[in-house]
A and B are shown apart, each in its own frame.
Chain A
Amino acid sequence: MNFKFDLRQTIIIQMSTQGFSLMNADGANGKKCEIKLSGVKKTYRMGEVDVPVLHGIDLEIYKGELTAILGASGSGKSTLLNLIGGIDKPSEGKILFQGRDITILEDRELTEFRRKSVGFVFQFYNLVPTLTSKENVQVSTEIADNPMDPVKALELVELGDRIDYFPAQMSGGQQQRVAIARAIAKNPTMMLCDEPTGALDLKTGQSVLKILRKLNSELNMTILLITHSAPIAQMAHRSVHISSGTVEKVEYNEHPPDVEEIAW
Chain B
Amino acid sequence: MSVLNRKLRRDLFASKGMLVAIISIIAVGTACFVGTYGTYRNLINEQASYYSQCRMADFWIDVKKVPRYVLKELTGVKGVSEIYGRIISPVIVEFDDVSQPISGCVVSLPANPKPVINNIVMRRGSYFTKERENEVIVSEIFAKTRNISPGSYIKLIMNGKQKELFVVGTAISSEFIYMLPPGGIVPEPGNYGVFWIKNEFAEDRFGFTGACNSIVGILNPESRQNPYPVLDELNRKLSPYGVFASTPLKNQNSNLTLCAELSGLQLETTVIPGIFLGVAALALNILMMRMAEQQRVIIGTLKALGIKNSSIFMHFMKFGLFTGISGGIAGCVLGYWMAFETTQLYASIYTFPDLRNYIYPDIIALSMLISISFAALGTLKGVRKIVKLNPAESMRPSVPTSSKKIFLEKFSSFWNRAGFRWQIVLRNIFRNKGRTAIGMAAAACGAGIVVMSFGLTDSLEYMMQFQFDKVLLSDYSINFRDELDGGALYEARRLPGISYAEPVLNVTCDLHNRNHFRKASITGIIPNARLTFPSNADGKPIILPSAGLLMSGRLAKQLHLKTGDSVTFIPVKGRKKTQTVPIAGIIDSKFGMPIYADYYYLNKLIDENSAISSIHLKASDRGAHIKELFNAVRAFPKLASLSVTAQQKKQMQEDFIAKLKGIVYVMIVFAGVIFFGSILNSALISLTERKREIATFRILGYQPLEVGAIFFREIMTINVAGTIIGLPLGYYMLYGMTLSFQNDMYSVPCVINRVTWLNTLIIAFIFIIAAYFLIQRLINRMDWSEALKLRE
A-side residues, CB < 8 A to B, are 46-47, 79, 82, 85, 87-89, 107-108, 111-116, 118, 120, 122, 124, 126, 128, 130-131, 135, 138-140, 142-144, 182, 186
Known pairs A87-B391, A87-B392, A88-B393; A130 contacts B7 (CB<8 A): yes
Q: Which residue of B lies closest to A82 (CB)?
A: B392
Q: Quick one: which of A87, A113, A124, A135 contacts B3, CB cutoff 8 A? A: A135
Across-interface contacts of A122 in B (CB, < 8 A):
301, 395
0/1 per residue, B469-482, Cβ < 8 Å to A? 00000000000000
A186–B307 CA distance with the chains assembled, in angstroms: 12
User: Nearest 8 pairs between A and B by C-beta?
Assistant: A115-B306, A88-B392, A87-B391, A130-B10, A126-B301, A82-B392, A114-B306, A138-B3
Q: Complex: how many Å from CA A182 to CA B309?
A: 19
A144 to chain B: which residues have CB within 8 Å? 306
Known A-B contacts A88-B392, A120-B301; the reply to A128 vs B7 at CB < 8 A is yes
B269-309, CB < 8 A from A: 297-298, 300-309
Q: Does B546 contact A (CB under 8 A)?
A: no
Within 8 A of A (CB), among B1-36: 2-4, 6-7, 10-11, 14
Bound-state Cα–Cα, A111 to B300, Å? 12
Q: Give the CA-CA distance A137 to B298 in the complex, in Å.
A: 14
B2's closest neighbor in chain A, by CB? A142
Instruction: Tell me if B609 is interfacial: C-beta within 8 Å of chain A.
Output: no
Q: How far is the CB of B555 from chain A (nearest CB, A)?
A: 66
Contact A88 B3, CB 8 Å, known A46-B399, A126-B297, A139-B305: no
Question: Please, how many angstroms separate the alpha-carbon atoms of A107 and B313 in the complex?
Answer: 14
| In the complex, chain B residues 742-772 whose Cβ is within 8 Å of any chain A Cβ | none
Q: Cβ of B791 < 8 Å from any Cβ of A?
A: yes
Bound CA span A108–B301, Å: 16
Asked whether B304 lies within 8 Å of A139 as measured between CB atoms, the reply is no
Which residues of chain B from 304 to 338 have a CB within 8 Å of any chain A CB?
304-309
In this complex, the member of A116, A128, A140 whose beta carbon has the largest number of chain B beta carbons within 10 angstroms is A128
Given contacts A108-B308, A130-B11, A142-B3, contact A88 B391 (CB under 8 A): yes
User: Which listed residue (B298, B303, B393, B399) contacts A128, Cβ 8 A?
Assistant: B298
The listed residue with most A CB atoms (<10 A of its CB), out of B4, B304, B393, B399, is: B304
Nearest B-chain residue to A135, judged by Cβ: B3
Nearest residue (CB) in B for A136 is B3
Closest Cβ neighbor of A42 among chain B residues: B392
Residues of A within 8 A of B11 (CB): 130
Residue contact B7 to A126, C-beta cutoff 8 Å: no
A135-B3, A139-B4 given; A182·B305 CB < 8 A: yes
Q: A87-B392, A124-B791 are in contact. List 12 more A-B contacts (CB 8 A).
A: A87-B300, A87-B390, A88-B392, A111-B307, A111-B308, A115-B307, A122-B301, A128-B298, A130-B7, A131-B6, A140-B305, A142-B2
Chain B 393-416 interface mask (CB, 8 Å, partner A; 1/0)? 101000100000000000000000
For B4, the closest partner residue in chain A by CB is A139
Task: Choose among A112, A124, A130, A140 the residue with the greatest number of B CB atoms under 10 Å from its CB.
Answer: A130
**How far, in angstroms, from A131 to B4 measured CA to CA in the complex?**
9
On whether A131 and B7 interact (CB within 8 A), knowing A88-B390, A108-B308, the answer reads yes
Tell which of A108, A116, A120, A124 has the most Cβ of chain B within 10 Å.
A120
CA distance A200 to B362 in the complex (A): 59
CA distance A126 to B395 in the complex (A): 9
Residues of chain B whose beta carbon lies under 8 Å from any beta carbon of chain A: 2-4, 6-7, 10-11, 14, 297-298, 300-309, 390-393, 395, 399, 791
Instruction: Chain A residues near B395: list those with CB within 8 A.
Output: 87, 122, 126
CA of A113 to CA of B308, assembled, Å: 11
Identify the closest chain A residue to B14 (Cβ).
Answer: A130
Instruction: Given A126-B395, A130-B10, A130-B14, decide whether A89 and B390 contact each other with a Cβ distance below 8 A.
Output: yes
Residues from chain B with a CB closer than 8 A to the CB of A120 are 301, 304-305
Q: Among B10, B11, B305, which residue has the most Cβ atoms of chain A within 10 A? A: B305
Query: Nearest residue in B to A79 (C-beta to C-beta)?
Result: B392
Distance to closest chain A CB from B483 (angstroms):
85
Distance to closest chain A CB from B753 (angstroms) = 52
Find chain A residues with CB under 8 A from B390 CB. 87-89, 107
Residues of A within 8 A of B300 (CB): 87, 126
- A154 to nearest B CB, angstroms? 14
Identity of the chain B residue whose Cβ is nearest the Cβ of A199 in the assembled complex: B791
Minimal Cβ-Cβ distance residue in A for B400: A47
Among B7, B297, B304, B309, the residue within 8 A (CB) of A87 is: B304
Q: Nearest Cβ distance between residue A145 and chain B, in whole angstroms? A: 10
**Are B309 and A111 in touch, CB under 8 angstroms?**
yes
Measured between beta carbons, the chain A residues less than 8 angstroms from B392 are: 79, 82, 87-88
Q: Are A114 and B3 in contact (CB under 8 A)?
A: no
**Min CB distance, A42 to chain B, in Å?**
10
Can you name 11 A-B pairs with beta carbons within 8 Å?
A: A46-B399, A89-B390, A118-B304, A120-B304, A128-B301, A128-B302, A131-B3, A138-B3, A139-B4, A143-B306, A182-B305
Question: Do the beta carbons of B303 and A87 come within 8 Å of each other?
Answer: yes
The residue in chain A whose Cβ has the minimal distance to the Cβ of B396 is A44
Q: In the complex the two chains form, is A85's CB within 8 Å of B399's CB?
A: no
CB distance from B19 to the nearest CB of A (A): 15
A residues within 8 A CB of B309?
A: 107, 111
The reply to whether A115 and B305 form a contact with Cβ atoms under 8 Å apart is yes
Q: Provide the residues of chain B in CB contact with A124, threshold 8 Å.
A: 297, 791
Cα distance A138–B305 when bound, in Å? Answer: 11
* Across-interface contacts of A130 in B (CB, < 8 A): 6-7, 10-11, 14
When distances are taken between beta carbons in the complex, the residues of chain A under 8 Å from B307 are 111, 115, 139, 143
Beta-carbon contact of B301 and A143 below 8 Å = no
Given contacts A47-B399, A126-B297, A126-B395, contact A85 B304 (CB under 8 A): yes
What's the Cα separation between A138 and B309 when bound, in Å?
18
In the bound assembly, the distance between CA atoms of A89 and B302 in angstroms comes to 17
Give A142 to B11 CA distance when docked, in angstroms: 20
Closest beta carbon of chain A to B7's beta carbon, Å: 5
CA distance A82 to B301 in the complex (A): 12
> CB-nearest residue of chain A relative to B12?
A130
A120 CA to B306 CA, complexed, in Å: 10
Residues of A within 8 A of B10 (CB): 130-131
* Known pairs A87-B392, A88-B392; A114 contacts B305 (CB<8 A): yes
Knowing A126-B298, A130-B10, A130-B14, the reply to whether A139 touches B308 (Cβ < 8 A) is no
Which among B14, B302, B395 has the highest number of chain A CB atoms within 10 Å?
B395
Docked complex Cα distance between A108 and B395 (Å)? 19
How far is it, in angstroms, between the C-alpha of A131 and the C-alpha of B307 when the chains are bound? 16
The complex places the Cα of A135 from the Cα of B4 at a distance, in Å, of 9
A46 to B393, CA, bound (A): 11
Q: How distant is the Cα of A139 from the Cα of B14 in the complex, in angstroms? A: 20
Least Cβ distance of B573 to chain A in Å? 84
Chain A residues with Cβ below 8 Å from B399 are 46-47
Chain A residues within an 8 Å CB radius of B298 = 126, 128
Say whether A143 contacts B6, CB under 8 Å: no
**Residues of chain A within 8 A of B14, CB atoms compared:** 130
